[in-house]
Amino acid sequence: MLSKLLKYDLKSKLPFLCIFYALAIGCAGLARLFLLFSEIPILNIIGQIFSGAAISMIFNTLINNVLRAWGLFRQNLYGDPSYLTHTLPVRKPAIYLSKALDGLITMTISFLVSGLTLVILYYGTKLWDTVALVLKALPDGRPALTVALVVGVVFLEVLNMLQCGFTGLILGHKSNKGKIGFSVLIGLGVYSAGSLFVLGIFGAAALIDPNMRRFFMTSQSSLFMLEDMHAVLALSAFAYAALIGILYGLNVKWLKQGVNVD
């Protein structure tokens, strides 16, 4: 049943997102094409416009993904379509897992499309080379690992944000008949508490590991200048993964306690 739920969840979200994916890649391609002739002012201007549009489409894919996931979650679990969702012969954890996997899959695709858009836009340009040089010059070296860890942490952070929204909707609906303002407040509260939890993990790690302590004590302003930057990023990834796991368990538990649909 999970695969069927997931199929319909993806069907209701992906066609909409695909428009933004196509626009992001299309704009990046056109920008690159026009910028091949950047010595001609008008073509340079058009290229810059497409370049800006491609970047805004990247943000669009990510923001739309999250907002649409929250909107569909609210509709399917508490709106009119919930009369169908809750009467399907499917367990509540499967309903939640489907929403979570849907978020994971569409977010992965959005990140890949964003990456591809950036490659099309900047590969082989001066900016690309400059960034590569900066990455190589970092104290911890291994630029590929650095990029992978940074992208991984950002990805987990966005997934965490997505799930905080789900928590807000579940608890908001439980406590105040689904008034959306209440759900938003709870979601923000859960997100803030989650951030403190991540900071707490860093604090605990700093008590044990003197290298990690430098993360708090260093006078260097940039995380990227720390020698053990990879360890800090890996710990961030672990903290967010743990947070996502905890929130997932709580959300499933609260959902299993039952709903009250208007």
Partner 1 sequence: MALLECKHLYKNFGDRQILTDINLAIPEGKIIGLLGKNGTGKSTLIKLINDLLTPSEGEVLVKGLPVGVESKEIIAYLPERTYLDKSMTVNQVIQFFADFYRNFDSEKARKLLADLDLDPTQKLNKMSKGMQEKVQLVLVMSRKADLYILDEPLGGVDPATRDYILDTILTNFNEGASVIISTHLIQDIERILDEVIFIDKGKIICHEECDTLREREGGSIDAIFRRMFKC
Q: Residue 8 interacts with partner 1 (CB under 8 A)?
A: yes
Q: Answer whether 85's CB lies under 8 Å from 95's CB.
A: yes
Q: How far is the CB of 87 from partner 1 (least distance, A)?
A: 5
**Pattern of binders to partner 1 over 87-106, x per CB under 8 A?**
xxxxx---------------
Measuring CA to CA, which residue among 49, 62, 45 is closest to residue 107?
62
What CA–CA distances, in Å, run from 135 to 127, 138, 139, 213, 225? 12, 5, 9, 24, 11
**Which amino acid appears at position 204 of this protein?**
A
CB of 33 to partner 1, least distance (A): 35
Nearer to partner 1, 86 or 214 (CB): 86
Residues 164-223 that bind partner 1 (CB under 8 A): 177
Half-sphere exposure of 242 (CA within 13 A, CB side): 14
Q: Are 187 and 173 in contact (CB under 8 A)?
A: no
Select the residue interacting with partner 1 from 12, 44, 48, 195 (CB under 8 A): 12
Q: Is 259 in the site for partner 1 (CB under 8 A)?
A: yes
- Choose between 83 and 208: whose C-beta lies nearer to partner 1: 83
For the CB of residue 62, give the shortest distance to partner 1 in the complex, in Å.
23
User: Binding of partner 1 at residue 82 (CB under 8 A)?
Assistant: yes
Scanning the structure block, which residue is given the tokens 């073509």?
Answer: 43
Number of residues that bind partner 1 (CB under 8 A): 21
Angle, CA of 21, 32 and 42, to the nearest 5°: 120
Looking at the Cβ atoms of 89 and 181, the one nearer to partner 1 is 89
Structure tokens at 36: 């091949």
80 binds partner 1 (CB under 8 A): yes
d(CA 240, CA 247): 10
Find the shortest distance in angstroms from Cβ 212 to partner 1. Answer: 45
Residue 124 neighbours by CB under 8 Å, 6+ apart:
none
Q: How far is the CB of 196 from partner 1 (least distance, A)?
A: 31
Instruction: Summarize as ranges the residues that interact with partner 1 (CB under 8 A).
Output: 1, 4, 8, 12, 80-84, 86-91, 177, 257-261
